[in-house]
Structure 1
Amino acid sequence: MKQKEITGAFKKGVLIYSFLLLLLFFLLSFHALASPAPKIISLAPDLTEMVYALNLEDHLVAVSEYSDFPPQAKKLPIVGSFISPNIEKILFLHPSTVLAREGATPAELLQTLQKNKIEVLSFPAQTEKDIYATLFTLGKKFNKAEKARSLIKNMKENLAHIQKHTSDFQKPRVLIQIEEVPLMVAGKNTLPHRAIELSGGLNITSSYQGYPKLQREVLLKLNPDIIIIPETSGQEEKVKRMKALWKGKRIYIISGDLLTRATPRFIEGVTALSKKIHEPSF
């Protein structure tokens, strides 16, 4: 082949390659224009926190009541509680996706959203594995897979460290009291129950499911070594009452959000619980 023919073929190849690149650029641009940015509404405080943890806050248009972390979440419109969200307000905001807690928001309300062409994603929140699964699903859907993997990796490494550190410790009998009136505690299949297990303790109310309301006499008979109560306003008086009821028992205060919300901060709750129940060994 002559030099002139080779040069001509090369130029032709460059032109074809340039044309294909230009075509790809236009196709990607068209796809971006045809796919509007997602608009997310969260119907649970911990799911709100998940959105921020994945750096998706620019897509969050409204939240449920008690979505108070991070603080900037409190500036967003509120669409009611996770139990009874305001459907009309949600429809008015035209979200593309609504995030809900499995078993919390009534199914018929979520079905109403789906009938209006709104995607509904429901997530369980009973164990650390549920947190991983939620992060993975949201990360994959909203192009934050790498961030999700990083958060999951960090949680797994920290939990493994805690379990290794406490594996040889004696397992104290622990009670987590959620509410004082009515007297509500954390039973099996709850995040606080899993926190006790991961921190190296025994949940004395594990024979009950969910968050049962029990009589004081029942709890006294269960005879815990340690009682955990959530951090609240006016807690000094509550601690006094608790000490009068649980004479000689160890009573500690831990942020309730760290033990009950299925977010990456759950590891902070498990860490705090481990330090309290294994004091001074930890």
Structure 2
Amino acid sequence: MRNVCSRLFVLFGLFVLTPVWAAPQTVCERDDAGRQVCVGEVKRVVSLAPHATEILAFLGAESRLVGVDSASDFPLQMRQLPKLGDYLRVDLERLALMHPDLVVAWKSGITPDQLNTLANLGIPVFVSEPQSIQAVASNMKRLGHLLGLTASSDELADRWLASFDALAQSHRRQKPLRVFYQVWADPLMTLGGSHVVSQIIQMCGGTNVFKDLKTLAPTIGVEAVVQARPDVILSSGGTSDLDRLMAQWSRWTAVPAVARQHIAVVPQDILVRNGPRLLNAAQRVCTILDGYRSRAGVDSHG
């Protein structure tokens, strides 16, 4: 009898010391606001930025998304998810009722008060604002780590970066084309050298004529563009935007881009949405510049 009791005691002790379900491991990453974000198991995610939604889908986590902002429209199935608001107008009450394990928010699209409210509710928030190709890849890796997808997200991010490297290498010896990128017509706005669009232009064998401007999206004058004599004028948008762009610059025939009709647009949602489809945008910009370079008879190894 004593032996039986001893065995039961040992078995009971093992049962107590070894739980049937281990508690999920806490994982921490620093976000783009410099905050330490810690999560347990992440099964339910809310994204409050289109670029973040696309990053999460790229990582294979689209099935975990339970709500998104109103501008998240890619991949197509994201349009069917509950919409929680737009820029600076997030329905926090509805969001809380979704019981997310993680919220991914745009740094420029969420207020400190909203962040504090989510923190008080105990909801982890990863603030995302990648401003370069490398920063997008970093977001992929850090979010992948929080989601428990470290191995696959690291591989996806590295392969994505390698595709940009291949584009840059294939255009490394080409003579640069001078490119003006127009953000807005009135007031006339462009992008400085620190913007990811400038990075893509350079990668494709171009030079942003306003790359030396320190402001991210400076306002300029028409005279500055005329004096810069760009070989190419680029913007983002659709067919109607291209028609307006060509009409806007048609009188300035001293500008090489206008004289040669080297004016083009790239779909906005891939070029100025800092997510995985920046690669598609870079490929499109490279194709445009290569075509104009060929039409102008520019020596590709100048």
**TM range, smaller chain:** 0.7 to 0.9
Query: Which of 274, 277, 281 does residue 289 from structure 2 map onto?
Result: 277
Letter in 1 for 2:164: L
Letter in 1 for 2:215: Q
Letter in 1 for 2:94: K
Which residue in the other structure is 2:268 paired with?
Answer: 256
* Shift in Å, 1:149: 2.0
* Shift in Å, 1:81: 1.6
Q: Verify: 1:82 aligned to 2:87, yes or no.
A: yes
Task: Describe the shift of the 1:215–1:104 C-alpha distance in structure 2 as closer, same or farther (beyond 3 A).
Answer: farther
Letter in 1 for 2:143: L
Contact 2:44-2:100 at 8 Å conserved across structures? yes
* Shift in Å, 1:182: 4.0
Deviation string 1:15-66 (CA, Å, 9 cap, x unpaired) is: x9xxx89x978234x759xx66532111110101111111111211111122
- Structure 2: distance between partners of 1:148 and 1:255: 26
Which residue in the other structure is 1:167 paired with?
Answer: 172
Which residue in the other structure is 1:100 paired with?
Answer: 105
Letter in 2 for 1:142: L
* Shift in Å, 1:82: 3.4
Contact 1:62-1:78 at 8 Å conserved across structures? yes
Superposition map of 1:1-282 within 5 A: 26-28=20-22, 37-206=42-211, 207-232=213-238, 234-235=240-241, 237-246=243-252, 247-249=258-260, 250-279=262-291, 280=294
Letter in 2 for 1:202: T
Aligned length: 264
Contact 2:193-2:214 at 8 Å conserved across structures? yes
Letter in 2 for 1:218: A
* Shift in Å, 1:273: 1.1
Q: Report percent identity of matched pairs.
A: 23
Task: Describe the shift of the 1:236–1:171 C-alpha distance in structure 2 as closer, same or farther (beyond 3 A).
Answer: closer
Can you give the 5+ residue segments of structure 1 that lack an aligned partner in the other structure? 1-15
* Shift in Å, 1:190: 2.0
Bigger drift between 261-270 and 234-243 goes to 234-243
- Structure 1: distance between partners of 2:156 and 2:24: 30
- Name the SS of the counterpart of 2:85 in structure 1: coil
Deviation string 1:91-127 (CA, Å, 9 cap, x unpaired) is: 2333221112234422332222112211111123211
Contact 1:201-1:277 at 8 Å conserved across structures? yes
- Structure 2: distance between partners of 1:252 and 1:164: 24
The structure in which a higher percent of residues are helix is 1
Letter in 1 for 2:259: G
TM-score scaled by length of structure 2: 0.77
- Structure 2: distance between partners of 1:184 and 1:104: 21
- Structure 2: distance between partners of 1:213 and 1:40: 38
Task: Describe the shift of the 1:211–1:88 C-alpha distance in structure 2 as closer, same or farther (beyond 3 A).
Answer: farther
- Structure 1: distance between partners of 2:186 and 2:44: 39
- Structure 2: distance between partners of 1:253 and 1:224: 15
- Structure 2: distance between partners of 1:237 and 1:270: 22
Contact 1:243-1:251 at 8 Å conserved across structures? no
Cα RMSD of the aligned pairs, angstroms, is: 3.0
